[in-house]
Chains A and B, each alone.
Chain A
Amino acid sequence: MYKILRKKFLTPAICLMDVLAPRVAQSAQPGQFLIVRAGEKNERIPLTICDYNREEGSVTIVTQLVGASTRIICSYEAGESFADVVGPLGQPSEFIHLSPEALRNSRYLFIAGGLGTAPVYPQVKYLHQAGAKVDVIIGARNKDLVILEEEMRAVCDHLYICTDDGSYGEKGLVTDIMGRLLDSGEKYDQAVAIGPMIMMKFVTLKGRQYGIPLIVSLNTLMVDGTGMCGACRVTIAGKTRFACVDGPEFNAYDVDFEEAMRRQGMYRDIEKEKDHQCHIGLHQ
């Protein structure tokens, strides 16, 4: 059992939790994720690692209420325990292999969409601590979905925020800011985009126009998260890869986004039905 040490709602629909999982905390690296199973009858859900504290033995997860399972996870209170927390899973971000000197001389641009801000955070923090220059764009549908602004500001050089409806930051899309920065002559050695599949697809189209190196982190369906089932398979440069072991980060220009988005929706009808039942339960 994995005890929840602290819990707070970052927004009405997004919840942050520090969970006691010493082995995971000990090994976690930026770019990796974990799998949570709330209770005996619940699903295994992949969640990104937002932070880790090796001394305390805790990992920080950020969950957005999008369906029945995330609703259950967010309903747990501090002091309660999840049945399972497995990880760290996936390959760490490539930059953890770079030398201190190479890191000091590099400049990164991160593009975070909504909940994608959570997995971007440990990457930015790692690079910032290594002396790299890092700019971050956070985009969200509206003000209520902008998270970790203060935390991010503390570890990056420039932070740009935009919302679709203009309720916070500037009105517009992450690709607008991205284009403006690159048009104004800003140079980056590497861009990284993490967010909804559709946002990563449009960032990739934009990045291609500018020829900027770009990495995306694919949030596919997963079951075990250890490479034994292939539920998370994606086509990368024409080859089938398992996002859970070969990724989740890939070169953006190699990703078949159309297929990835289609596969992500495979259980949509079943999920809707479950969520519907769940709502009924809540109102009883």
Chain B
Amino acid sequence: MANKIPRVPVREQDPAVRARNFEEVCYGYNEQEAVLEASRCLNCKKPRCVEACPVSIQIPAFISKVAAGDIKEAARIISQDSSLPAVCGRVCPQETQCEGSCILGVKGEPVAIGKLERFVADWSRQNGVRFADKAPANGIKVAVVGSGPAGLACASDLARWGYDVTVFEVLHKAGGVLQYGIPEFRLPKQEVVEYEVENVRRLGVKIETDVVVGRTVTVDDLFDKEGFKAVFIGSGAGLPKFMGIPGENLNGVFSANEFLTRNNLMHGYDPTYDTPVFSGRRSVIVGGGNVAMDAARTALRLGSQVTVVYRRTEKELPARVEEVHHAKEEGIEFRLLTNPVEILGDEKGWVRGIRCIRMELGEPDESGRRSPVPVPGSEFEIETDTVIMSLGTSPNPMIARSTPGLETNRRGCLIADEDGATTRPMVFAGGDAVTGAATVILAMGAGRRAAAAIHKALQSEK
């Protein structure tokens, strides 16, 4: 009767304490807790969790090894499908993926698959367990543009199959959004991100940073001058959106990307680093996604009093439930059904407040979502000296513009089929560059599918 055991709770840092530091909020399971939680898994014959995992990790197989105390073997099973388990165990929206499909979730609580994956990955790191099985080198060069989750997943698979893979990264550190976007308190950089990137390097993948594909080199150069036989584009969706309301260029208004990049990639919160990060006495975050929660919780840790402004209701908040819960525990205020109409400045051009209008939910639109409509005459002001715009991002047009034959759709996303094949031969793409901003794990799934398609295309060329 394994399923009668309640889901093992995970230990977390006290909200009052963690609201003032950048250390990881969730401590994760210890071995005893993990073995107990793993014993809840029913080891289904047709595991729905595996189907719901975008990279198809053999979940019951690894969990049964955890239950048996063979953590090393559990790690080996995960490593066949994921090169970033310590990342995914932390940031995947498991509630809508693996755990959302767990049969135990129908009547009770699903198995804590994410926390178990994280435990296995952390244990492997602490015990120096690595897996780097690979096929003999075949000498065929493949270029990967972008070292985010899509690029790393694609590069790992290709390297395992013997390809000579070079990843080109625009920033000075590999990892994409794992480096610049997701804060330290959710995803430790040195300990987790850099370790897992190092594991990808150990497969033989070369990572060249500071290369702006579209400026430093073009995709054409990669084929014609550098001898690459295929190119995978995993350049993400890093272009921030603004609202286009008056006052958006006042001093004190930031995109969430700028605010988070200064803090995460450039370590703005650490006084021993040079890059300044401006944090006001009060901050208003506009938006309701995971990025908005990250920006809000970062501003809070920098000493600001924080309000999140979102135009729909709590039910529609696109952020993970766990993140919203953490944000509330830490003392962040939510102003729902509220939309900014103007940012107000003082005589020196700095933000002094934000004028908002109340919203109500109208009729469902074609997507089935009830769209918010402004309530006439309901404008009000919130006093603040910082506004962080977190309205989503779209793909950066630089690569598409510099690559003849590579087509994009109306939203600036690269056009690619299920396998990642773009409109240009031997150029594949995946992740946010194709879908627009989505999740780490969907990007990894797309990277893996493209790797398989590249392998197939290159083998049939022989």
**A and B physically associate:** yes
**Complex contacts, A87 vs chain B, CB 8 Å:** 212, 215-216
What number of A-B contacts does a CB cutoff of 8 Å give? Answer: 106
Are A266 and B251 also in contact (CB < 8 A) when A23-B211, A27-B217, A223-B258 are?
A: yes
Interface centre among A85, A227, A235 (most CB of B within 10 A): A227
| A43-B278 contact in complex given A86-B170, A226-B398, A240-B242, C-beta closer than 8 Å | no
**Complex formed: what's the CA distance from A245 to B400 in Å?**
14
In whole Å, how far is B350's beta carbon from the nearest beta carbon of chain A? 9
CB contact list, A231-267 vs B, under 8 A: 231, 233-235, 240, 245, 259, 262-263, 265-267
- Interface residues contributed by chain B, number (CB under 8 Å): 38
Query: Is the CB of B276 closer than 8 A to any CB of chain A?
Result: yes
**A83 CB-CB contact with B under 8 Å:** yes
Q: Which residue of A lies closest to B248 (CB)?
A: A240
Q: Which stretch from B20-28, B77-85, B197-205, B266-274 is at the chain A interface?
A: B266-274
A37 vs B251: C-alpha distance when bound (angstroms)? 25
8 Å CB contact of B249 from A42, A224, A233:
A233
A68 at the interface (CB under 8 A from B): yes
B171 touches A27 (CB 8 A): no
CA gap between A37 and B348 in the complex, in Å:
31
Is B240 close to A, CB under 8 A? yes
Check A68/B216 contact, CB under 8 A, given A23-B211, A86-B170, A240-B248: no
Q: Within 8 Å of chain B (Cβ to Cβ): is A131?
A: no
The proximity string for B residues 214-241 relative to A, scoring 1 for CB distances below 8 Å and 0 otherwise, is: 0111000000000000000000001110
Residue B255 interfacial (CB < 8 Å): yes
Instruction: List residues of A (51-93) whose CB comes within 8 Å of B's CBs.
Output: 68-69, 72, 83-89
Q: Are A271 and B238 in contact (CB under 8 A)?
A: no
Within 8 A of B (CB), among A10-44: 23-24, 27, 32, 37, 41-44
Q: Given the interface contacts A224-B171, A240-B248, A263-B251, does A230 sit within 8 Å of B216 by beta carbon? A: no
Which residues of A lie under 8 Å from residue B172 when comparing CB positions?
37, 44, 83-84, 86
Least distance between A259 CB and chain B CB atoms (Å): 6
Partner of A230 from the list B258, B278, B348 (CB cut-off 8 Å) is: B258
Contacts of A68 in B (CB 8 A): 274
Cβ B276 vs Cβ A227 within 8 A: no
Q: Cβ of A270 < 8 Å from any Cβ of B?
A: yes
Q: Name the CB-closest residue of A to B239.
A: A227
Cβ–Cβ contact B258 & A227, under 8 A: no
Q: A23-B216, A86-B210, A223-B262 are in contact. Are A43 and B275 (CB under 8 A)?
A: yes
Q: Is A153 an interface residue (CB 8 A)?
A: no
A-contact 0/1 string along B400-429, CB 8 Å cutoff: 000000000000000000000000000000
- In whole Å, how far is B243's beta carbon from the nearest beta carbon of chain A? 10
A229 touches B (CB below 8 Å) = yes
Residue among A72, A240, A274 making CB contact with B276, cutoff 8 Å: A274
Is the pair B396, A229 in contact by a Cβ cutoff of 8 Å? no
- Interface positions of B from 326 to 384, Cβ below 8 Å from A: 348-349
**A230 with B242: CB separation less than 8 A:** yes
Q: Is A228 an interface residue (CB 8 A)?
A: yes
B267 touches A270 (CB 8 A): no
B398 cross-chain contacts in A, Cβ below 8 A: 226-227, 245
Flag if A41 contacts B274 (CB, 8 Å).
Answer: yes
Judge whether B261 is part of the interface by a CB distance below 8 angstroms: yes
Taking the closest CB of chain B, its distance from the CB of A74, in whole angstroms, is: 15
Q: Give Cα A182–Cα B23 distance, bound, in whole angstroms.
A: 62
Whether B217 contacts A230 by the Cβ 8 Å rule is no
Residues in B neighbouring A32, C-beta threshold 8 A: 215
* Interface SS majority for chain A: mixed
Taking a contact as CB atoms under 8 Å apart, the answer to whether A262 and B210 are in contact is no
Report whether B238 and A88 are in contact in the complex, using a CB–CB cutoff of 8 Å: no
B249 touches A235 (CB 8 A): yes
Within 8 A of B (CB), among A97-126: none
Q: Are B396 and A228 in contact (CB under 8 A)?
A: yes
How far is B274's CA from A262's CA once the two chains are assembled, in angstroms? 22
Once the chains bind, are B210 and A84 in contact (CB under 8 Å)?
A: yes
B304 within 8 A of A: no
User: Which of chain B's residues have a CB closer than 8 A to the CB of A270?
Assistant: 276, 278
If A24-B216, A37-B172, A86-B212 touch, whether A262 touches B349 (CB-CB below 8 Å) is yes
Nearest first, the 10 A-B pairs at minimum CB distance are: A229-B258, A228-B238, A270-B276, A262-B349, A43-B274, A84-B172, A86-B210, A230-B255, A41-B273, A229-B257
Binding site for B on A (CB under 8 A): 23-24, 27, 32, 37, 41-44, 68-69, 72, 83-89, 223-224, 226-231, 233-235, 240, 245, 259, 262-263, 265-267, 270-271, 274
Q: What are 29 A-B residue pairs whose CB atoms fall within 8 Å in the complex?
A: A24-B216, A27-B215, A37-B172, A72-B274, A83-B172, A84-B172, A85-B210, A86-B216, A87-B216, A88-B216, A89-B212, A226-B238, A226-B396, A226-B398, A227-B239, A228-B239, A228-B257, A229-B240, A230-B242, A230-B257, A231-B255, A233-B249, A240-B242, A245-B396, A262-B349, A263-B251, A265-B251, A266-B252, A270-B276
Known: A223-B266, A226-B396, A230-B254. 5 other contacts (CB 8 A): A42-B274, A86-B170, A240-B249, A262-B251, A267-B278
